[in-house]
Amino acid sequence: MQTRIYETDVLIVGGGTAGTMAAIKAKQENPGLHVLVLDKADIRRSGAIAMGMDGLNNAVIPGKATPEEYTLEITEANDGIIDQRAVYRQAVECYDIVRELDSWGVDFEKDEKGDYRVYRVHRKGRYVLPMPKASDLKLILAKKVKQMKAQAINRVMATRLLTRGNQAIGALGLDVITGDFVIVKAKAVVLTAGAAGRMGLTDSGYLYSTYENPANSGDGFAMAYHAGAELTGIECYQINPTMKDYNGPACAYVAGPFGAYTANYRGERVTGCDYWSGELIMTMWKLANQGQWPLFLKMTHLDEASIAKIESILHSNERPSRDCFHQGRGKNYRNDMVELHFSEVGLCSGHSAAGVLVNHEAETSMAGLYAAGDMACVPHQYLLGALTFGKIAGVNAARFAASQPGYEPDPAQIEAERERMFRPLQNPDGVPHHQVEYKIRRIVTQYLMPPKTMTKLEIGLERILHFRRVDLNLLGARDPHELGRALEVHSIVDCAEMMARASMFRKESRWGFYHYFLDYPERDDKNWLKRVVVRKGKNGKMEVYTKEVPPYILFPHLESESVGGGELLS
Amino acid sequence: MSFSAHVSPRLITQRVEASVIIDRDKCIGCGICVQVCPMGILALDHEGKAYMKYDECWYCTPCQTDCPVDAVRVHLPYLIR
């Protein structure tokens, strides 16, 4: 085990969709800069979507939808707590990203005239653009990173940012193959390390059958927190409707446009709109508690051509093994409805809102630190948001880096992290990481899950703090791989504490089931149409406070039946 | 695992079914599957053949798709099936 030192202009932490796009765009912006991507896996198959994606869920295609319409729709979907300038910018700039991906060889569904074909899954607008053969999306992005001469170092897991006051100047990490300690000095840093997907226990009982790729363990949330950056929307959890046990999406977005819908056991439609939101999960949770459970995705009424098309998309993209899952249980979309369940709880702005606080320039509260993708709070941004804000973060990081002299890191920060990082390796007979992980995820599931109560949250927080003092010190690791997994457990604990404190702080209910708080069961716009912000204070303790929502640039129409948002003008 | 004269081992090993199975006759030891696995759970053994080393599979299938000689089969972990 050695210490390796790198110097770069722009450091990108995480080479998933947002990170690879950030690298490509940073080089395009300023080809003279050195751009370095660290990934704890391999950028060809890392991030949220190892095997590509079957579609873009929020493509604002001129002539089919408008940025204004999309921004208002997401304002309502996120119950008004939103930076409209950021969402609007994504909506305006995403079309260029779609066309660029198209020119790089990503396959999109088009009509006879060659125009992009979009479908409606959201409440109002049509934004779902299928990518029927995009299982190689990550390979295409990784190739582009190489063409642009950005450097990628695989199997290095960043664990802490290097800081100089309120500025990011690099990162520290672990090579999970060799066990090398890695020091990177950088003039600007882009955090694109993904969701916190291993927070709750899964319904199958298998620790890694999470909705999110389990490599997304909240390391970016933890790194931003320990550096002193602001995070927000943490109490707005991610809980998705998924296939029971398999825990992948049931894919109403793919099957819905063909006529599939969410049904009860009698095959009757039960949800008006299958767009994923806290409202949809609340509807499902209520049905479950009325004994009207389980729900199903119903495709049995569709014709053979439609079912064959759905299968060809679902069985080659995103989660190709779903085919084996159905076969193994003797199920077929022609005869059987697909049983649904709730995913485990997590943090992910891609579908929900939790993340590092960023503005429309992907700037965080720290100088030289940018964030994008599932770990940056641009609500409901999905894959196309990761690509669009990855671009914005890459361009802005390149511009910032060009203005910086470069700073030497503080040796005390380096040594403190070296000591923390290698501690589990000095304890090879310590408790294995999967046992320790199971216990913290059990605490999250049993005490932090909605419906939230102050009593449950208080016990949960007490258990988390005890876990931090006791259990984390019991962790053992026998090799660099296990050490990486052990350090991921540290990230999970940081995220769990943020979830407990942010949830206790917001004394109202909001976002449907995601923050359903029985002590305060009503939404309270008068006092809580605000962001709850979490940050590591100067004394090392977690601070929680509110910030005003940035001024709206568009105002929702007053509608009596709107899902929030309508009240915002009063 | 370390042994002491005074106490029995502090760690025990339990058997777990492997979900990723490699055809060792086909495997050429190129290491692509090891490289692309997002969870880093595959490794090459002492004969240079791939095998599943850690029980942390997301059954996402790049190892199977990217193998140049079709030697890798991803099965669902037992609890998922």
The domain in which residue A84 lies consists of 3-53+66-101+135-237+346-411
- Give the phi and the psi of residue A218 in degrees, each rounded to 5: 80, 15
- State the average pLDDT over residues A434-447: 98
Tell me if A118 is assigned to some domain: no
- Given a cut of 90, is residue A340 above it in pLDDT? yes
pLDDT, chain A, mean: 94
Q: What is the CATH number of the domain that holds B66?
A: 3.30.70.20
| DSSP state for residue A517 in the 8-state scheme | B
Binned at pLDDT 50, 70 and 90, residue A567 comes out as very low
Tell me if B18 is assigned to some domain: no
Count of H helices and E strands in chain B?
2, 4
Q: Compare all CA atoms of chain B with the CA of A207 and give the residue at the minimum distance.
A: B56
A181-191 and A369-371 beta bridge pairing: parallel
Q: Say yes or no: A162 and A31 in one domain.
A: yes
> Which residue is it, tokens 């709107």?
A562
Distance of CA A406 to the CA centre of its chain: 30
- Give the phi and the psi of residue A396 in degrees, each rounded to 5: -70, -35
Residues of chain B contacting residue A324, judged by C-beta atoms under 8 Å apart: 59, 74-76
Instruction: Please report the sign of the dihedral spanned by the C-alpha atoms of residue A456, residue A459, residue A465, residue A467.
Output: negative
Q: Say yes or no: A337 and A425 in one domain.
A: no
Q: Compare all CA atoms of chain A with the CA of B59 and give the residue at the minimum distance.
A: A321
> Which residue is it, tokens 């790089």?
A104
Total count of domains within chain A: 3
Query: For A440, how many CA atoms within 13 A lie in the half-sphere containing its CB?
Result: 31
Summarised one tens digit per residue, pLDDT across range A324-338 is 999 999 999 999 999
Within 8 A by CB and 6+ apart from A191, the residues are: A13, A14, A161, A220, A223, A224, A356, A364, A369, A370, A371, A372, A375, A376
Q: Say yes or no: A203 and A245 in one domain.
A: no
Residues of chain A contacting residue B57, judged by C-beta atoms under 8 Å apart: 208
Summarised one tens digit per residue, pLDDT across range A349-396 is 999 999 999 999 999 999 999 999 999 999 999 999 999 999 999 999
CB spacing of B36 vs A45 below 8 angstroms: yes
Tell me if A170 is assigned to some domain: yes
- Burial (CB count within 10 angstroms: exposed 0-12, middle 13-18, buried 19+), residue A185: middle
Quote the pLDDT of residue B79: 97
Q: Per CB distance under 8 Å, which residues of B are interface residues toward A?
A: 1-2, 9-11, 35-40, 53-62, 65-66, 74-77, 79-81
The domain in which residue B34 lies consists of 27-74
Tell me if A551 is assigned to some domain: no
* Boundary-marking domain end, from A308, A342, A376: A342
Residues of chain B contacting residue A141, judged by C-beta atoms under 8 Å apart: none
- State the average pLDDT over residues A429-451: 98
Q: Compare all CA atoms of chain A with the CA of B43 and give the residue at the minimum distance.
A: A177
Quote the pLDDT of residue A557: 58
Q: Say yes or no: A426 and A517 in one domain.
A: yes
In whole angstroms, how far apart are CA A483 and each of A212, A416, A433, A561?
A: 21, 17, 8, 52
CB spacing of A328 vs B11 below 8 angstroms: no
Residues B35/A142, Cβ–Cβ less than 8 Å: no
Residues of chain B contacting residue A155, judged by C-beta atoms under 8 Å apart: 40
- State the average pLDDT over residues B13-36: 97
Q: Per CB distance under 8 Å, which residues of A are interface residues toward B?
A: 40-42, 44-46, 50-51, 135, 154-155, 176-177, 204-210, 213-215, 245-247, 319-321, 324-325, 328-329, 428-429, 432, 434, 476, 481, 484-485
Total count of domains within chain B: 1
d(CA A196, CA A201) in angstroms, rounded, equals: 13
| DSSP state for residue A16 in the 8-state scheme | S
Q: Say yes or no: A23 and A90 in one domain.
A: yes
Q: Say yes or no: A254 and A338 in one domain.
A: yes
Tell me if B64 is assigned to some domain: yes
Q: Is A408 helix (H, G, I), strand (E, B) or coil?
A: coil
Token reading at B38 = 């997002």
Residues of chain A contacting residue B54, judged by C-beta atoms under 8 Å apart: 481
Distance of CA A228 to the CA centre of its chain: 20
Q: What is the CATH number of the domain that holds A266?
A: 3.90.700.10
User: In this predicted complex, what is the ipTM?
Assistant: 0.96
Quote the pLDDT of residue A514: 98
Binned at pLDDT 50, 70 and 90, residue B3 comes out as low
Tell me if B48 is assigned to some domain: yes
A22-39 burial, b at 16+ Cβ within 10 Å, e below that, comes to: bbbbbbebbeebbbbbbb
pLDDT greater at residue A400 or residue A317: A400
Length of chain A: 570
CB spacing of B39 vs A214 below 8 angstroms: yes
DSSP string computed for A105-153: T----B-TTSPBP-EE-SSS-EEEEE-TT-TTHHHHHHHHHHHTT-EEE
Q: Say yes or no: A482 and A350 in one domain.
A: no
Summarised one tens digit per residue, pLDDT across range A223-250 is 999 999 999 999 999 999 999 999 888 8
Tell me if B49 is assigned to some domain: yes
Q: Say yes or no: A329 and A350 in one domain.
A: no
Quote the pLDDT of residue A318: 80
Residues A170/A185, Cβ–Cβ less than 8 Å: yes
CB spacing of A481 vs B54 below 8 angstroms: yes
Considering only the beta carbons, identify the residue of A44, A135, A481 that sits closest to B36: A44
Residues A497/A542, Cβ–Cβ less than 8 Å: yes
Strand partners, A515: A510
Considering only the beta carbons, identify the residue of B60, B61, B79 that sits closest to A204: B79
To the nearest whole Å, the CA of B74 is away from the closest chain A CA by 8
To the nearest whole Å, the CA of A321 is away from the closest chain B CA by 7
In chain A, % of residues over pLDDT 70: 97
Tell me if B10 is assigned to some domain: no
* Boundary-marking domain end, from A288, A321, A342: A342
- State the average pLDDT over residues A248-270: 89
Quote the pLDDT of residue A132: 81
Quote the pLDDT of residue A570: 27
Quote the pLDDT of residue A568: 32
> Which residue is it, tokens 């199903």?
A296
Summarised one tens digit per residue, pLDDT across range A3-42 is 999 999 999 999 999 999 999 999 999 999 999 999 999 9
CB spacing of B61 vs A51 below 8 angstroms: yes
Q: Say yes or no: A470 and A398 in one domain.
A: no
Quote the pLDDT of residue B4: 65
Summarised one tens digit per residue, pLDDT across range A472-507 is 999 999 999 999 999 999 999 999 999 999 999 999
Candidates B12, B20, B13, B6; CA nearest to B57 is: B20
Q: Say yes or no: A282 and A192 in one domain.
A: no
Q: How many CB atoms lie within 10 A of CB A466?
A: 11
Q: Say yes or no: A183 and A248 in one domain.
A: no
Q: What is the CATH number of the domain that holds A524?
A: 1.20.58.100
Q: Is A486 helix (H, G, I), strand (E, B) or coil?
A: helix
- Given a cut of 70, is residue A559 above it in pLDDT? no
Token reading at A409 = 């890191």
In whole angstroms, how far apart are CA A302 and each of A257, A305, A337?
A: 11, 8, 12
d(CA A379, CA B24) in angstroms, rounded, equals: 46
Residues of chain A contacting residue B9, judged by C-beta atoms under 8 Å apart: 429
- Given a cut of 70, is residue A560 above it in pLDDT? no
CB spacing of B58 vs A320 below 8 angstroms: no
Tell me if A548 is assigned to some domain: no
pLDDT greater at residue A330 or residue A563: A330
To the nearest whole Å, the CA of B10 is away from the closest chain A CA by 6
To the nearest whole Å, the CA of B71 is away from the closest chain A CA by 17
CB spacing of B2 vs A428 below 8 angstroms: yes
A181-191 and A119-120 beta bridge pairing: unpaired
Considering only the beta carbons, identify the residue of B37, B39, B61 that sits closest to A321: B61
- State the average pLDDT over residues A103-111: 93
| DSSP state for residue A522 in the 8-state scheme | S
Q: Say yes or no: A155 and A33 in one domain.
A: yes
d(CA A341, CA A242) in angstroms, rounded, equals: 5
d(CA A207, CA B54) in angstroms, rounded, equals: 13
To the nearest whole Å, the CA of A319 is away from the closest chain B CA by 6
CB spacing of B62 vs A51 below 8 angstroms: yes
CB spacing of B58 vs A324 below 8 angstroms: no
- Given a cut of 50, is residue B71 above it in pLDDT? yes
Quote the pLDDT of residue A402: 98
DSSP string computed for A462-483: HHHHHHHHTHHHHB--SSHHHH
Summarised one tens digit per residue, pLDDT across range A134-170 is 779 999 999 999 999 999 999 999 999 999 999 999 9
Within 8 A by CB and 6+ apart from A26, the residues are: A10, A12, A33, A35, A150, A190, A394, A395, A397, A398
pTM of the model: 0.96
Rg (CA), chain A: 22
Candidates A163, A225, A223; CA nearest to A541 is: A225
Interface test with B, best of A175, A177, A324 (most B CBs within 10 A): A324
Considering only the beta carbons, identify the residue of A208, A428, A432 that sits closest to B57: A208
Strand partners, A175: A156
CB spacing of A320 vs B38 below 8 angstroms: no
Rg (CA), chain B: 15
Tell me if B80 is assigned to some domain: no
Q: Compare all CA atoms of chain B with the CA of A206 and give the residue at the minimum distance.
A: B79
Position A564, amino acid: G
Residues of chain A contacting residue B42, judged by C-beta atoms under 8 Å apart: none
d(CA A385, CA A381) in angstroms, rounded, equals: 4
